[in-house]
């Protein structure tokens, strides 16, 4: 790369020393392409100790800006980003890409939702905007450590506003910026900035005012290049008691705000709140430890209960198998007993089903009844066919049936209900 054509690198770029770059103006395809080329050249060929990027931009393209954001994020060298004048819209995302991010005490930070200009609108514009919005929310959430709900509130802004504007003090109060990452300048510079931007609301116009003031100052580089930027505060500001008191007041107010107290709270009140938070944190750890212990015990009980349930299921299955086998054997015994009674001539084959049903209800009673009935002897065919014996056989059978009927009736009753044997 021709070093005399560098647009964004400021001053000399030397190995093992800080290199300073500026991103001023709108974020678009041309500006990001050249900035990215110079940044990668510094990163890969110069190999400085760190890269410091001074930002004064009204924002611009999310698409091209995210490309630059990714390059800065992936840089193996530490990158410090400073809002020299203004970081609005997509420029605030570039500012958030640094390893450490800083603001001048007169600088402006503006965060809002992405949008598509009407002339560039397409059927997919709404989906594109939502995707960019989710992407930017994630960047702010991870960089600032704020909740996603708080990030959305900042991006939406108050009713009737496009997003939210911050100066250094309000950025600290909102939790976006640590108090020691505010770079101090003279009171005259702050007053000049305040006077010139009063009543100006358009981001482009604000950026131009800031660019003009920065051009006059030309002091964005840290004077002590061996350490990080906060050391500049110690050099640029007098160590007068008044200045130190103001800084302490500002820092104390920031602490109060983060603790949910008024900025003019008593020191004792702040200490009490801190002690309460410490005790609450200790109590929370104890509760968490107790919860973890109970959780482990519950898991053990659940495992035991599962084992018992499995064993119970096995026992139930075995018991059912035994009952099924016992019932099958009982039916077989009844069937065999009734068959024996038929073969012994005690009952007619036609009455089998009724005797089987009675035996199923009261097997002992049926056994006693059928056992009390005498067996019938079988006679030969010749005797059975003898006309002289036929009538006698009929009479004898009739008498036997009458006896059997009386025996059965004595047990089951005349209407076939079960009774008891004497």
Task: Return the CATH number at 216.
Answer: 3.90.226.10
Considering the candidates 101, 112, 173, 181, report the single residue annotated as catalytic.
Answer: 112
Whether 312 and 188 share a structural domain: no
Whether 226 and 313 share a structural domain: no
Within a domain: 228: yes
Token reading at 194 = 């305040």
Within a domain: 198: yes
CA distance 400 to 180: 121
- Tell whether the torsion through CA atoms of 58, 64, 69 and 75 is positive or negative: negative
Give this prediction's pTM. Answer: 0.50
- Does 164 score more than 60 pLDDT? yes
Torsions phi, psi of 3, nearest 5?
-65, -25
pLDDT score, position 83: 94
Whether 12 and 97 share a structural domain: yes
Active site (annotated) includes residue 89: yes
CA distance 350 to 418: 20
190 near 106, Cβ under 8 Å?
yes
pLDDT score, position 67: 93
CA-nearest of 219, 196, 199 to 209 is 196
Q: What is the mean pLDDT of the chain?
A: 79
115 near 182, Cβ under 8 Å?
no
CA-nearest of 343, 339, 345 to 359 is 339
64 near 27, Cβ under 8 Å?
yes
Whether 89 and 213 share a structural domain: yes
Which tops the pLDDT comparison, 14 or 241? 14
- Does 248 score more than 90 pLDDT? no
pLDDT score, position 19: 95
Look at residues 183, 204, 238 and tell me which one is the last residue of a structural domain. 238
pLDDT score, position 290: 84
Within a domain: 257: no
Whether 195 and 63 share a structural domain: yes
Q: Which residues are CB-contacts of 253 (< 8 A; sequence separation ≥ 6)? A: 173, 263, 264
Whether 226 and 309 share a structural domain: no
Whether 62 and 182 share a structural domain: yes
The residue-averaged pLDDT of 5-30 equals 92
Whether 229 and 370 share a structural domain: no
Question: 315-343: per-residue pLDDT in tens?
Answer: 899 899 999 998 899 899 998 988 898 98
Within a domain: 96: yes
Q: Which residues are CB-contacts of 219 (< 8 A; sequence separation ≥ 6)? A: 236
Look at residues 186, 210, 238 and tell me which one is the last residue of a structural domain. 238
- Does 99 score more than 50 pLDDT? yes
Whether 309 and 182 share a structural domain: no
Within a domain: 40: yes
Q: pLDDT band at residue 64, thresholds of 50, 70 and 90?
A: very high
Report the range of poorest mean pLDDT among 168-177, 365-374, 386-395: 386-395
Within a domain: 277: no
CA-nearest of 140, 142, 144, 163 to 58 is 163
Distances (CA, A) of 356 to 197, 271, 326, 338: 110, 94, 17, 7
For the chain, the farthest-separated pair of C-alpha atoms sits apart, in whole angstroms, at 154
Proportion of the chain above pLDDT 90, given as a percent? 31
Q: What's the domain range around 224?
A: 3-238
Please work out, in degrees rounded to the nearest 5, the angle formed at the alpha carbon of residue 89 by the alpha carbons of 92 and 35. Answer: 60
Whether 215 and 339 share a structural domain: no
Query: What's the distance, CA 83 to chain centroid?
Result: 35
Within a domain: 276: no
Domains in the chain: how many in total? 2
CA distance 338 to 377: 18
Q: pLDDT band at residue 265, thresholds of 50, 70 and 90?
A: confident
pLDDT score, position 421: 47
- Does 214 score more than 70 pLDDT? no
- Does 420 score more than 70 pLDDT? no
Whether 90 and 208 share a structural domain: yes
Residue that the structure tokens 């009736």 belong to: 409
Whether 228 and 308 share a structural domain: no
Considering the candidates 31, 54, 61, 89, report the single residue annotated as catalytic.
Answer: 89
Within a domain: 392: yes
CA distance 389 to 40: 131
Look at residues 189, 219, 238 and tell me which one is the last residue of a structural domain. 238
Scanning 259-386, the segments in alpha helix (DSSP H) are 267-343, 352-361, 363-372, 381-385
pLDDT score, position 97: 94
CA-nearest of 126, 116, 166 to 146 is 166
> What 3-state class would DSSP assign to 133?
helix
Residue that the structure tokens 């004048």 belong to: 85
Which tops the pLDDT comparison, 194 or 183? 183
């Amino acid at each position: 790369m021709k070093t005399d054509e560098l647009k964004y690198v400021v001053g000399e770029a030397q190995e093992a020393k800080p290199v300073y770059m500026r991103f001023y103006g709108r974020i678009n395809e041309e500006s990001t392409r050249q900035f990215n080329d110079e940044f990668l050249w510094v990163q890969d060929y110069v190999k400085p100790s760190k890269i410091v990027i001074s930002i004064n931009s009204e924002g611009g393209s999310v698409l091209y800006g995210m490309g630059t954001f990714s390059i800065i994020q992936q840089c193996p060298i530490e990158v410090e980003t400073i809002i020299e004048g203004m970081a609005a819209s997509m420029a605030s995302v570039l500012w958030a890409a640094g390893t450490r991010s800083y603001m001048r005490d007169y600088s402006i930070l503006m965060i809002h939702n992405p949008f598509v200009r009407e002339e560039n609108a397409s059927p997919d514009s709404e989906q594109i905007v939502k995707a960019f919005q989710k992407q930017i929310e994630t960047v702010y959430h991870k960089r600032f450590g704020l909740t996603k709900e708080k990030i959305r509130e900042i991006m939406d802004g108050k009713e009737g506003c496009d997003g939210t504007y911050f100066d250094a003090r309000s950025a600290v109060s909102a939790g976006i910026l640590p108090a020691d990452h505010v770079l101090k300048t003279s009171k005259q510079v702050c007053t000049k900035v305040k006077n010139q931007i009063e009543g100006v609301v358009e981001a482009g116009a604000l950026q131009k005012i800031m660019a003009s003031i920065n051009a006059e100052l030309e002091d964005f580089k840290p004077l002590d290049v061996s350490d990080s930027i906060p050391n500049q505060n110690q050099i640029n500001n007098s160590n007068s008691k008044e200045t130190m008191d103001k800084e302490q007041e500002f820092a104390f107010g920031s602490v109060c705000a983060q603790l949910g107290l008024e900025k003019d709270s008593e020191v004792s009140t702040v200490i009490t709140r801190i002690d309460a938070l410490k005790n609450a944190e200790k109590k929370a750890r104890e509760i968490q430890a107790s919860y973890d212990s109970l959780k482990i015990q519950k898991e053990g009980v659940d495992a035991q209960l599962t084992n018992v349930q499995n064993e119970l299921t096995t026992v139930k299955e075995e018991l059912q198998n035994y009952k099924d086998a016992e019932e099958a054997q009982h039916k077989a015994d009844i069937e065999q007993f009734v068959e024996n009674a038929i073969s012994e001539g005690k009952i007619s084959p036609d009455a089998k089903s009724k005797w089987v049903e009675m035996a199923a209800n009261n097997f002992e009673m049926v056994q006693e009844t059928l056992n009390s009935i005498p067996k019938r002897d079988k006679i030969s065919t010749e005797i059975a066919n003898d006309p002289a014996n036929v009538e006698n056989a009929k009479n004898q059978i009739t008498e036997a049936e009458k006896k059997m009927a009386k025996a059965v009736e004595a047990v089951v009753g005349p209407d076939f209900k079960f009774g008891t044997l004497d």
